[in-house]
Amino acid sequence: MSKSRSLWVWGVIAAGTVALSHAPADAHHAFGAEFDADAPIQFEGTVVRLEWVNPHSWIHLAVERMVIGGQEVTPPNSQEEVWMVEGGTPNVLVRRGLRRECLPIGSRLVVDGYQAKDHTLKRANGRDVTFPDGRKFFMGSSGTGAPEDGAERASLQSGPGRC
């Protein structure tokens, strides 16, 4: 390769590296940046919306019953008590056997997870989702700093489930 062509190639690589290093990177976060490991929460409700997008999937749940800090709470109107529950990437969930088609609008679910650090938000990080027939799927993200309780290992050892 000629010297001028080699310089041109390195120049393009350098320019690309600079351009990519200045791209916004605020879309993804560690668990601890947004969620409270000391605030476990459980929801029971109905799927009203599903966002199957990267870097995280979101289940919007009209909550009929929840347990916060060991206290059971029944909202007066579940249609007004809609919580956003963050899950892992769609690709990871599909590999675990949980597909978008498994969660049609109107599906009843129980979700275990952790509240957002800002407790005024109706937002949580989902740990597990359980269907009425008892099938359970780990929906958290690996390596995010979320509390370790062995659910992920147990899920992987038992093999991927299918919805």
pLDDT in tens, 81-99: 999 999 999 998 998 889 9
pLDDT tens-digit profile of 101-140?
999 999 999 999 999 999 999 999 999 999 999 999 998 7
Query: What stretches of the chain show up as alpha helix (H) in DSSP?
Result: 3-21, 31-34, 90-95, 151-157
On the question of pLDDT at 19 being above 60, the answer is: no
Shortest CA distance to 107 belongs to which of 42, 163, 40, 41? 163
Q: What is the pTM of this model?
A: 0.72
**Is the Cβ–Cβ distance between 41 and 113 less than 8 Å?**
yes
- How high is the pLDDT of residue 100? 93
Per-residue model confidence (pLDDT) at position 63: 96
Q: What are the φ and ψ backbone dihedral angles of 28, each rounded to 5 degrees?
A: -110, 150
Write down all domains in the chain, each with its CATH number in brackets.
36-157 (2.40.50.140)
**How many angstroms separate the CA atoms of 35 and 112, rounded?**
13
Which pLDDT does position 67 carry in this prediction?
A: 96
Q: What 3-state class would DSSP assign to 151? A: helix
Per-chain mean pLDDT for the chain: 80
pLDDT at 46 over 70: yes
